[in-house]
Structure 1
Amino acid sequence: MPTSSTVRPMTPATVWLARGRHAEGAAEDVLRRSLEQRKRSQAIDDFLELPETETGTEAGTEAAPAERVFQARWRVDETVTVRARIGVTPGPDGGQDWILVAEAEQPWDDDWPSPAVLFWPEEPDVAWDRDGVAGLSLREINPLPQDDKETRRLFRNAVRGGWHIHVVVHEAMTTDDRGRVPLARWLPPGLRHRVVEHRAAPQQHRGLNWALRDLGVQVPRGGAVVLPGTPAPDGYAAEDFSVRAVFLDGTEPTDLVDAVTRYAALPRPLPDGAENALTALREDWHLLTLQEELERQRGLVAMYAEALEAMTKSRDLYREAAERAHEALAAYQESAEAAPVRQQSSDTPMASPLQQLTRTFERFKGRSSS
């Protein structure tokens, strides 16, 4: 089974992350309309669209795709502020990839609204909910390919990066419409757009477990398993996240929902690319309230005052040193003119005015460095 990484920083408990692909049309237009609607309905307090930026380049390389960024702020439980950022960049196949990161003032509660539906519209005909790697749906059931090798390749690519929670369900028998209800319907709101549900037909059980060997897990016949991901989170054990039986009759799959919820609570490294997005959220935040803007201006005033005080102190030290140097130089000149020429003994050195001048500069150097 893949081991968890100890190199990448861990995902903070206050942070919610998601990634996907908008399949068609201009994603920024969809986001703008959706956020305006959310603001009118008071689902969010405010939002801001930032000027288009390039994602960073190095000398001699081609320019990176331009990123469109939206920031939004809302409250949960009436008093807890959530700040969120979504960045959208052109994808390789004509779609647009997006990364959404939200951070609350206290540890994230999965019963809070999903940040995804506060940015994107909930209508099923708006195709924003696709996994950017394999094109899988984040809201619907994803049937497995018929070819076992293709299924193996799908799992290997899908779990890489650590963005989504992947769940595999095996149908013990062919289901009717009641059994085609997506798992997302039963999950807490904060997990509905972080879970990818794979569904294997009855005859695919043997090939399914063959395809999962690389991940070190197996799916019971008629059951389900939460895949470990790459890297696997600390504390993951396949038997703890395997469900022996899932009844696909339209009732809530309680054991499976519990397994997914427990998996989501495990400490995990930040997914690939999430560290930059989180840093941008924290350090490049522009959507300030009036109080936050006032505090920001006060902080700038305090910083400038401190810098001015340091400059004034440094100027005073230099001026004092210059005065002492002039005094020492004048004393040296007077003593040089008045002193008779005489032979000094080599074993009885005397402090000359020049040495006094040197010592004056040394004392100033020591004071300025402190």
Structure 2
Amino acid sequence: MAKSSPVRDAAPDTVWLARGRYLGPDAEDTVRRRLRELKSEAVIQDLFEPDGSRGSGGPATSDDPDGSGALGDSGHSGEASTEGSRSFEARWTVADDVVVRARLDLGATPGQDGAQDWVLVAEADRGWELDWPSPATVFWPEDADSPWDHDVVGGLRFRRINPLPSDDRALKRLLKECARHTWGIHVVIHEAMTTGERGLRPLAPLLPPSLRHRIVEHRATPEQFQVVNWALYDLGVRVPRGGAVVLPAVPGGPGVDDNSLSVRSVFLDGSVPTDLIDVVRRRAEDPGPLPQGGEEALGALREQWHLTTLEEELVVARRQVAAYAEALEAMTKSRDLYREAAELAHEALAGYRESFGALPSPGQEPSRKREGFSLRGLARRLGEGGEKRFG
């Protein structure tokens, strides 16, 4: 009997999540340079690299000449991370006063020379707005040549057009892997005719800032119309001829046709595809459950966060004091209730003894006189009864 997949928690509306792969050996230095640049420009408030995340023998930064681990101004010390991984924290504000806390984790990718997978999670003090700056541009440079914007499946790119494979089975396998394992929002566009130069403009730059680095754009040639819908059948969506479809967060299953995620026509003539952008926005605002691994990434951000202000630490301390006081009050109340119940039990026992006399001690059975059975005595009683009756 097949085991059902565990139900994952819904993604909080305050959270921005992304996952990708950096193709190159210098991911750590790239992140450090970017964070220092934004700190010097006052774009971010503070930054930090936990001690243990660098691993033994890791290079010291210019802000940390003795290798103690602090990348920014924070005085906190970090817990050790998973061996071979690196963690970076950054804090900034959006919309004047909304605080954003973000954490980037880098990990070695087995079997790929120098490549590293990365996970980026950011959380704001209120619901995330798509028009806010992308957290990806806080940790990664925005230049097009930087190799950080690869998806973890199939070498796909976030900021470019990804032609679908010409092989039918490879196409179906790729889209199925995208639906299962990536954290991005995947858009499949069918080209109704051969696309000119203006039609090769990627969708990402036209989207709100917080969506530009979460979109994976696939292009199907005019001849791939039938095969791409064959590949999408199991996901419960269908791309119209000359239109587009956004892959669902939770596949609907074979035979289901979710028209709310499709756009009938996309004009690849350089104009802004307003309808498609609206569908992508709706999909982003209703992300569904956290992706596999997303709950752990969010937990690491919340539980291992270092860049706290004195005011925030005071708030946390007050919450802890209040929690301790509540627990102590509950314990005291429980003790008083137990004492009151014990006193009532003693009073009831004393009243019982006054009414019925002394009770036997535990284990001692009350003595009772047992009368023996005698045939002679029975015959005598029967005889006396007969005399009375017939005499």
Same fold (TM over 0.5): yes
What does residue 33 of structure 1 align with?
A: 33
Which residue identity does 1:101 align to in structure 2? V
What does residue 9 of structure 2 align with?
A: 9
Q: Give the alignment of 1:181-260 within 5 angstroms.
A: 181-231=201-251, 238-260=258-280
Can you list the C-alpha shifts for 1:176-202, whole angstroms capped at 9, x where unaligned? 221111111111111111111000112
Distance in 2 separating the partners of 1:209 and 1:285 = 44
Can you list the C-alpha shifts for 1:208-267, whole angstroms capped at 9, x where unaligned? 22222222222111111111244569xx96211111110011110011001111111225
User: TM-score normalised to the size of structure 2?
Assistant: 0.71
Q: Give the alignment of 1:1-370 within 5 angstroms.
A: 7-53=7-53, 65-92=83-110, 93-94=112-113, 95-161=115-181, 163-231=183-251, 238-295=258-315, 302=321
What does residue 363 of structure 1 align with?
A: none
In the alignment, is the contact (CA less than 8 A) between 2:235 and 2:252 conserved in 1? no
Q: How far 1:109 moved relative to its partner?
A: 0.3
Distance in 1 separating the partners of 2:27 and 2:149 = 12
Percent of paired sites with the same residue: 52
State the SS of the aligned residue for 1:107: coil
- The runs of 5 or more residues in structure 2 that have no matched partner are 56-80, 333-356, 362-391
Going from structure 1 to structure 2, the CA distance change for 1:287 and 1:171 (only over 3 Å counts) comes to: same
Distance in 1 separating the partners of 2:91 and 2:34 = 14
Going from structure 1 to structure 2, the CA distance change for 1:305 and 1:240 (only over 3 Å counts) comes to: closer
Distance in 1 separating the partners of 2:168 and 2:324 = 68
Which residue identity does 2:168 align to in structure 1? D
- The runs of 5 or more residues in structure 1 that have no matched partner are 56-62, 314-346, 352-370
Which residue identity does 2:297 align to in structure 1? A
In the alignment, is the contact (CA less than 8 A) between 1:160 and 1:230 conserved in 2? no
- Give the greater-gyration-radius structure (CA): 2
Q: How far 1:161 moved relative to its partner?
A: 3.6
Q: How far 1:121 moved relative to its partner?
A: 0.4
Going from structure 1 to structure 2, the CA distance change for 1:305 and 1:186 (only over 3 Å counts) comes to: closer
Going from structure 1 to structure 2, the CA distance change for 1:281 and 1:112 (only over 3 Å counts) comes to: same
User: TM-score normalised to the size of structure 1?
Assistant: 0.75
| Larger mean Cα displacement after TM superposition, 4-13 or 159-168 | 4-13
Work out the number of aligned pairs and report it.
303
Q: How far 1:295 moved relative to its partner?
A: 4.8
| Larger mean Cα displacement after TM superposition, 153-162 or 188-197 | 153-162
Q: How far 1:52 moved relative to its partner?
A: 3.2
Say which structure, 1 or 2, has more relative contact order (CA 8 Å, 6+ apart).
1
Distance in 2 separating the partners of 1:267 and 1:213 = 21
Distance in 1 separating the partners of 2:147 and 2:270 = 25
Which residue identity does 2:240 align to in structure 1? P
Q: CA RMSD in A?
A: 3.1
In the alignment, is the contact (CA less than 8 A) between 1:20 and 1:129 conserved in 2? yes
| Larger mean Cα displacement after TM superposition, 99-108 or 212-221 | 212-221
In the alignment, is the contact (CA less than 8 A) between 2:186 and 2:246 conserved in 1? yes
Q: How far 1:73 moved relative to its partner?
A: 0.5
Which residue identity does 2:298 align to in structure 1? L
Which residue identity does 1:250 align to in structure 2? G
